[in-house]
Structure 1
Amino acid sequence: MSNRFGRECRMSVNYLIRQILAYNPDADCDLLRRSYEFSQTCHHGQQRISGDAYFSHCFETAKTLVELKLDTDTICAGLLHDVLEDTSASRDELVDQFGDTITELVEGVTNISKYKFKGGIQQRTAENYLRLLLATAKDTRVILIKLADRLHNMQTLASLPPHKQERIAKQTFEVYAPLAHRLGIARIKSRLEDLAFKYLYATEYREIADLLAAKLGEREAYTKWMVDVVQQELDLMGVKARVYGRPKHIYSIYQKIHQRGVPFEQIRDLFGLRVLVNSVGDCYAVIGILHNKWNHIPEQFKDFIGLPKANGYRSLHTTIVDRGQPVEIQIRTHEMHQIAEYGIAAHWRYKDGMPSETDNERIFAWFREMLAEIQEFKDPFQFIRSMKGELFPDEVFVFTPKGDLHSLPAGSTPIDFAYKIHTDIGQTCSGAEVNGAIVPFKYRLQNGDRVNIQTRANGHPSRDWLRWVKTARARNKIQSWLNEQNRAQAIDLGKRLLELEMRQRQLNLKHFFKSSELLDIAEKLVSKKKAQLPPIDELFRQIGNGKESATHVANLLSPEPPPITEKQERTTRPPQSAPSIEMEGIDLDLARIMKCCHPIPGDEIIGYLTRGRGISVHRADCSRIINEPERIFDIDWTPIENVTYPAPITVECDNRPGMLAEITTLIAQYKVNIDTVGSHRTNKETGYDQFTLEVNGIEQLEAIMESIRYLKGVRSVSRITSFSSDKRRNL
């Protein structure tokens, strides 16, 4: 009896009005009350299959809209959304009592079921999506009401027979949840996914739910402890922030199990933390503080502030490791949080605390373009085919300049697209235009992009491409080409190194080609089982890769040691005076840029023949170069378009709140990516902030560093030899 009494209280109009007034003091309470009473009267005597009064569904739909903090008209339309379809109420009555706006919203929801198309299951899935779009052409709030309506239908799905449960759950999974995701409404999307998953994969759902429940107390205690520790650390550093824990949803955990191919017990990140701050600068400051206090997983750092998602989502993501436990953390401003949670619904929220117009425009851009496209298609199925990317968010659908449609995995780049068209286009790709604008190769393609690939006869893949491509086809083609070029380069380099060694002995290598001596030695040194080349070529390859020494081979060919020159006697540690080799024809792009000194274009560099790995590129003053003159030679940079290089720097500055934010804000003005951020404090007065910047060369890096030096509180700016050492070089 008490449960029923509580339910009836929660369904009272006064309860609803109190919830609305909490965020909208100016709400039209009379309009809300009249909408409530009109809907309750129209649905009087009607029951749902569950046995509940039909009006309870209208009320729960409105409650979800209140949860989204939507405007009064939308909530009233939620209360009334079924009166035209399921009762005798007329359109004229609605207009007379509630006006045109609310009536049009109710009509929009009603009209969704009026679009009928023929076709199979997959077509019907797409058609449902199309109906939603067509129905929202006049007012996007229609789709918010429909999502709230579907959420309550999923919450009461247990009362339906199994075949209907499966059909509705599948439709929710394939249409409504992806749509909520695409519109950025995270709190609706995750609930729809969990509910649909519960009915489509009941066994897996129950297993995960039981396993989560088994250690709930332990997990909650650890979450609270982590929240307190992070909050204290941010307070100590003077950053105003709110930290709280967030449990992972069951379906998202299932995805981790499925994608990683591991059992539940090995999924350790079952919860995450969220940090809300006041400014973008504070977001980056928090990242620096976290990375200084805890180890982090570099590949899991994502900057969705610098590069927002298509649905307007903006946040910084990182994963720190606390005593072996990975903890995912999202950092965002309060405005970003509104967009992340409410997406397109944020536009219609009560105006106090509204997100910026820029955020609203970003959210609506996709929606407006999609609605405009509907008008251009005479055949609905043509539009449906073009919209597959919205139904399947793990793919992107892009166009060639001629209008041909191609699908690629989400996260694909113009390079992936080039290889999808033809291997030769991929291999000779020299640039890309997307929607008429030049973009870098690492640009992530979006649905509907029109991509034009530029090629060059002498163009070829770069090792950097492997960092950016998404598709296995592109990766395999690039790696295959690099392997072939590395092999050819190693053979050529090995031959040159041996020729150089023989010249120092005043001998000509060609003489040994004519005799059988070189072949005999090659056959002795080369493993016939592993060799895929003729013995001499394989020997050259091993010399070029550093696996075999040119000096050793020369000693076998000519046991007499070479004469020592005055130049060699004076040499302690060249590279400038080391025996060198003309690098014409040797592609620097195939060499390895070493992380011990992080050379970038404009630096004086040398090549070093690394044992088993071929050519590595170092700064000429790198302390890691071993004094082995036969392995060192001179090389020069070859300019490559659309390529950036990591450049670590450290900033010594005053230890005061906001310092890190000022530095990151300045760096952002140069439109360069910040790959990593670190921070540590030596005392109360002095701090060191470390950044890895993606720059195109020394000029850009020097300009950034010079600007940082002029910031108040900055004492020095230096390049870092390595984050693992304290060797720095002032520019």
Structure 2
Amino acid sequence: MSGLRCYATASSDFAIPGGEIAFAQSTGPVHVFRQLANLAIADAFPLAETRVAPHIEIMLRQYELVERVKEYDPDADEALLNRAYVYTVQKHGSQKRASGDPYFSHPVEVAGLMTDLKLDQETIITALLHDTVEDTLATIEDVEKNFGPKVARLVDGVTKLSKIEQMPEDERAAENLRKFLLAMSEDLRVLLVKLADRLHNMRTLHHIKNPDKRRRIARETMDIYAPLAERVGMYEYMREMQLLAFEQLEPEAYDIITKRLEQLRQTDTGQVDRIALDIKQALSEAGLDVGVWGREKHPYSIWRKMAERHLPFEQISDIMAFRVLTENPEDCYRALGKLHRTFQFVPGRFKDYISTPKNNGYRSLHTTLFYDRSMRVEVQIRTREMNQTNEFGLAAHWAYKQGDRPDGAVGWLRDLIEIVDASHDAEELLEHTKLAIYQDRIFAFTPRGSLFQMPKGATAVDFAFAVHTDLGAQTVGAKINGRHMPLRTPLNNGDVVEIIKSGNAQPQLSWLGFVVTGKARAAIRRAVRMKERDEVAEIGRKLFDEIVERLPTKVGKKAIAQATERLEFAEVEDMMYAIGSSKLSDRDVMEAIVPGSTADMPKELSQGRAISIKGLPPGVAFELAQCCHPVPGDRIVGLRIKGVGVQVHAIDCLELANGVDADWVDLSWGERSRGAIGRLNIVLYNRAGTLAEMAGVFARNNSNVINLELTHRDEPFHTYEVDIEVQDLAHLTRIISSLRASDAVAQADRI
């Protein structure tokens, strides 16, 4: 059976003894494979059992793999390739896949996919070894010893750490993606092997018995790996991944669409051939030597169009797409002109990706024509060289016969790496990365003519962050096509965007309500977190000064440095943040500054000073000002107002700066029998359960809500003004820190 090799791809060649069967109809890769494999094996081996299991794969033999590499790379190290093949077979030993096949068939098939793309021998060896470190006793050191540091680095980039497999679903996917992005930023071949690995796993996904696991893998493929394949221009991989994931995620829709497509094929009276012939004849009359062929659109593409436009299958008019291949770019435009003169074209459906290629290098002209005045026909026009690059994208540049291999990360990959650094947790990383790698783009320009591709719906703020993170952070306004426009204005194709900046500006939390790019969202969230951290650290410094006052000795810089070291913080600022966010108790800080200082200290002193108002004459009434709501721990001052008594204000209250006609009284906190009132401004995400989560934070921190008022309602956010009963400033600080740590809360500040 060495002469038979089966591929589950939309266009596959099967070589069998005595002849060749070629098949190029997009009926669904897995089904093509199953049907044709049965026929081919039955014809080639009449004495063998004719029923072939659906999962059958004729694995590449060792000499076949080496021969395939030597065909395009005569200088390849045959001995090294042989050693890698034997190494993976030995290491995986008797391991089995879910299909029952030997496990080593998987890395061998991944290596076969790499040879289809004519990749260098280091990539082929990496494909053979990519699972050895994860699934066998082999180590990276073993790989480096046997195959060199370059292969070891590539294998390490593709390998999933064992601890990732034990993480929760979203966290595992995020950590997997994080490692993957960082590794491929150093060498893009990591991405190529990983995509081939995922593609082959998707081809055999139906063997996994657990439906939940199948759907999880399919969802991860649809959300991450298929878009990544698209972003590097590997459309063949993208389409097959989407189709196989679609079959698992939407089985009913998949069955309905594939059956309807099959019905259309059965009732087709040669219409596809007739349209292709008419297009070719029209172009021949213009003196153009072109290749033309038609194909059905991808079932997942049809389903997505039905979902987006809320249309039934019968109303999807452009199910067929035709491709025209020319010799050079000039002929592409000549062909476009001839087709537009011969057939009526659909307005608004023309795209020129030759003059302005996609980020992934995709180049083609797209137009939609009316055929016989009613049928819509999509036509793609490109050169043969463009077609090769468009189908295999980045991999086409890595072909061994080409010397100009890409080195380093392309622009969108650099953005992804920046997102990795800016993301706070696994969920955030997944959200931002999905936004960054999905398709559907528009083009916008800087005033100097630099072109930037953005997702549909992108705003001026997204554009600013796309140009540079610092520009986005300093944005205060924007001109779109010369006119001042709101920052939330969505951009259109061809817009010229001028960003107005200020060195004192900072990203605003409200921007999260309208930005759409992962890079912008990650940068805004990071800036907001850093601002909050600075505020918490400042509160921590104030609390630290109060703690020091209760110690029996003076404290110098050396004692503070030693306390920082005892509490295992790298910087004093980290300790102040921990104090401000209530991660350290007063007693812990005292003991770190002066060991043994709290042993004989009264409990109330080590926990915080008792509270009341000192400095008032006996019998004089007082009230805490409603404008600033001071709490024990704030520096305070009294205003003696006729007929009212004494109003207690925080020293930095804005009302004091307005000039008040009253006598000032120097006050301080002492004992107090009931809690003070702190007023907070809290911004909640507008989704179910966030109000309950906020109330839970108050309850867990032993605080009572005195008053709650909804002050502003926006699409993504609800803003509340909340009065809560607190013991002192430290208590209020702990509550604010807990609120900021909650997923329900976008922002929490004291008024």
For normalisation by structure 2, the TM-score amounts to 0.51
Kept after mapping to 1: 8 A contact 2:157/2:179? no
The offset of 1:46, in angstroms, is: 0.9
Aligned residue for 1:325? Answer: 375
Kept after mapping to 2: 8 A contact 1:311/1:362? no
The alignment status of 1:61 with 2:110, answered yes or no, reads yes
Aligned residue for 1:85? Answer: 134
Q: Which amino acid counterpart does residue 81 of structure 1 have in structure 2?
A: H
**CA deviation vs aligned residue, 1:540-564 (integer Å, no higher than 9, x gap):** xxxxxxxxxxxxxxxxxxxxxxxxx
The structure-2 alpha-carbon separation of the partners of 1:361 and 1:321, relative to structure 1 and needing over 3 Å to count, comes to: farther
Q: Which amino acid counterpart does residue 413 of structure 2 have in structure 1?
A: F
Determine helix, strand or coil for the equivalent of 1:317. Answer: strand
Determine helix, strand or coil for the equivalent of 2:308. Answer: helix
Kept after mapping to 2: 8 A contact 1:111/1:135? no
The structure-2 alpha-carbon separation of the partners of 1:149 and 1:132, relative to structure 1 and needing over 3 Å to count, comes to: same
**Which of these residues, 235, 247, 261, is aligned with residue 284 of structure 2?**
235
CA distance in 2, matches of 1:397, 1:294: 28
The offset of 1:34, in angstroms, is: 2.4
CA distance in 1, matches of 2:357, 2:89: 43
CA distance in 2, matches of 1:305, 1:176: 26
Aligned residue for 1:390? Answer: 436
The alignment status of 1:349 with 2:399, answered yes or no, reads yes
CA distance in 2, matches of 1:248, 1:442: 26
Determine helix, strand or coil for the equivalent of 1:215. Answer: helix
CA distance in 2, matches of 1:317, 1:428: 27
The offset of 1:271, in angstroms, is: 2.1
Aligned residue for 2:194? Answer: 146
The offset of 1:395, in angstroms, is: 8.5
CA distance in 2, matches of 1:415, 1:41: 55
Determine helix, strand or coil for the equivalent of 1:332. Answer: strand
The offset of 1:416, in angstroms, is: 10
Aligned residue for 1:132? Answer: 180
The alignment status of 1:214 with 2:255, answered yes or no, reads no
Aligned residue for 1:155? Answer: 203
The offset of 1:30, in angstroms, is: 3.4
The offset of 1:28, in angstroms, is: 3.7
Q: Which amino acid counterpart does residue 60 of structure 2 have in structure 1?
A: M
Aligned residue for 1:452? Answer: 499
The structure-2 alpha-carbon separation of the partners of 1:432 and 1:102, relative to structure 1 and needing over 3 Å to count, comes to: farther
Determine helix, strand or coil for the equivalent of 1:244. Answer: strand
Aligned residue for 1:34? Answer: 83
CA distance in 2, matches of 1:429, 1:199: 46
The offset of 1:373, in angstroms, is: 6.1
The structure-2 alpha-carbon separation of the partners of 1:243 and 1:25, relative to structure 1 and needing over 3 Å to count, comes to: farther
**Greater displacement, 220-229 / 286-295:** 220-229
Aligned residue for 1:365? Answer: 411
Aligned residue for 1:173? Answer: 222
The offset of 1:320, in angstroms, is: 1.4
The structure-2 alpha-carbon separation of the partners of 1:146 and 1:417, relative to structure 1 and needing over 3 Å to count, comes to: closer
The offset of 1:208, in angstroms, is: 0.6
Kept after mapping to 2: 8 A contact 1:49/1:159? yes
The offset of 1:393, in angstroms, is: 4.2
CA distance in 1, matches of 2:153, 2:462: 45
**Which of these residues, 472, 478, 482, is aligned with residue 430 of structure 1?**
482
User: RMSD value over aligned CA atoms?
Assistant: 4.2
The offset of 1:39, in angstroms, is: 1.1
Q: Which amino acid counterpart does residue 331 of structure 1 have in structure 2?
A: I
- The 5 Å alignment of 1:86-101 reads 86-101=135-150
- The 5 Å alignment of 1:8-47 reads 10-47=59-96
The structure-2 alpha-carbon separation of the partners of 1:373 and 1:201, relative to structure 1 and needing over 3 Å to count, comes to: closer
Kept after mapping to 1: 8 A contact 2:233/2:392? yes
- The 5 Å alignment of 1:268-283 reads 268-283=317-332
The offset of 1:163, in angstroms, is: 1.3
The alignment status of 1:249 with 2:295, answered yes or no, reads no
The structure-2 alpha-carbon separation of the partners of 1:137 and 1:425, relative to structure 1 and needing over 3 Å to count, comes to: closer
Determine helix, strand or coil for the equivalent of 1:298. Answer: coil
Highest relative contact order (Cα 8 Å, sep 6+), 1 or 2? 1
CA distance in 1, matches of 2:426, 2:235: 29
Kept after mapping to 1: 8 A contact 2:443/2:492? no
Determine helix, strand or coil for the equivalent of 1:136. Answer: helix
Kept after mapping to 1: 8 A contact 2:223/2:434? no
Aligned residue for 2:623? Answer: none
- The 5 Å alignment of 1:408-419 reads 410=456, 412=458, 414=460
The offset of 1:207, in angstroms, is: 0.7
The structure-2 alpha-carbon separation of the partners of 1:113 and 1:236, relative to structure 1 and needing over 3 Å to count, comes to: farther
Kept after mapping to 1: 8 A contact 2:442/2:493? no
The structure-2 alpha-carbon separation of the partners of 1:201 and 1:232, relative to structure 1 and needing over 3 Å to count, comes to: same
The offset of 1:182, in angstroms, is: 1.9
CA distance in 2, matches of 1:444, 1:57: 48
Determine helix, strand or coil for the equivalent of 1:48. Answer: coil
Determine helix, strand or coil for the equivalent of 1:59. Answer: helix
Determine helix, strand or coil for the equivalent of 2:370. Answer: strand
Aligned residue for 1:443? Answer: 494
Kept after mapping to 1: 8 A contact 2:185/2:408? no
The offset of 1:342, in angstroms, is: 1.6
CA distance in 2, matches of 1:441, 1:252: 24
Kept after mapping to 1: 8 A contact 2:119/2:395? yes
Kept after mapping to 1: 8 A contact 2:114/2:196? yes
CA distance in 2, matches of 1:288, 1:428: 32
The offset of 1:44, in angstroms, is: 1.9
**CA deviation vs aligned residue, 1:273-317 (integer Å, no higher than 9, x gap):** 112222221111110111112111121111112222222211110
Kept after mapping to 2: 8 A contact 1:47/1:53? yes
CA distance in 1, matches of 2:421, 2:286: 54
Kept after mapping to 1: 8 A contact 2:234/2:394? yes
Aligned residue for 2:121? Answer: 72
| Sequence identity percentage | 38
Q: Which runs of 5 or more residues in structure 2 are unaligned?
A: 1-47, 447-452, 465-472, 502-514, 517-751
The offset of 1:63, in angstroms, is: 2.1
CA distance in 2, matches of 1:174, 1:269: 26
The structure-2 alpha-carbon separation of the partners of 1:270 and 1:30, relative to structure 1 and needing over 3 Å to count, comes to: farther
The alignment status of 1:105 with 2:154, answered yes or no, reads yes
Q: Which amino acid counterpart does residue 52 of structure 1 have in structure 2?
A: D
CA distance in 1, matches of 2:269, 2:148: 49
Number of equivalent positions:
433
Q: Which amino acid counterpart does residue 226 of structure 1 have in structure 2?
A: I
The offset of 1:204, in angstroms, is: 0.5
CA distance in 2, matches of 1:42, 1:333: 45
The offset of 1:53, in angstroms, is: 0.9
Determine helix, strand or coil for the equivalent of 1:47. Answer: coil
The structure-2 alpha-carbon separation of the partners of 1:190 and 1:369, relative to structure 1 and needing over 3 Å to count, comes to: same
The offset of 1:211, in angstroms, is: 0.9
Q: Which amino acid counterpart does residue 346 of structure 1 have in structure 2?
A: A
CA distance in 2, matches of 1:289, 1:235: 10
The structure-2 alpha-carbon separation of the partners of 1:20 and 1:211, relative to structure 1 and needing over 3 Å to count, comes to: farther
CA distance in 2, matches of 1:116, 1:12: 31
